[in-house]
Amino acid sequence: MILTMVAMLSMTTAFAEGENVANVSNLEAYELNINMNKLSDVLELADDQKEAVENIHHTFAAELIFAAQYGKNDRKALVDRAVENDVKWMRYVLNDKQMRTYLRLLNATMKNRGLNK
């Protein structure tokens, strides 16, 4: 439980400080720099899972950066699609317990960055 809290705080609070949530048009809100070692520890990933999760995350991060370059309406649709794809691919790799933890972390991260509007 403590590891979950540490990982969630490290993933979310580092980016939430000083950001204006109402103004998500800046590129920094769309850049996800996740510490994969901490995420791996919290999710208790096996080695093969760690590599797969890292690849899925890089794809997700690239899709978010791509979405940031579009107008407001297109951006929301692209972010939603990136999240849907990320969740779909993670379901193939993670077990139910890991997936629940991952979804909590993802939701908190998206909320803190103002990307879940």
> Tell me: the pLDDT tens digits for 32-71?
788 889 999 999 999 999 999 999 999 999 998 888 888 8
Q: How far apart are CA 86 and CA 72, in angstroms?
A: 21
Q: Compute the distance between CA of residue 52 and CA of residue 40 in angstroms, rounded to an integer.
A: 11
For residue 46, the model assigns a pLDDT of 93
**The overall pTM is greater than 0.75:** no
Domain tally, the chain: 1
Q: How far apart are the first and last CA of the chain?
A: 28
Domain that holds residue 79: 2-113
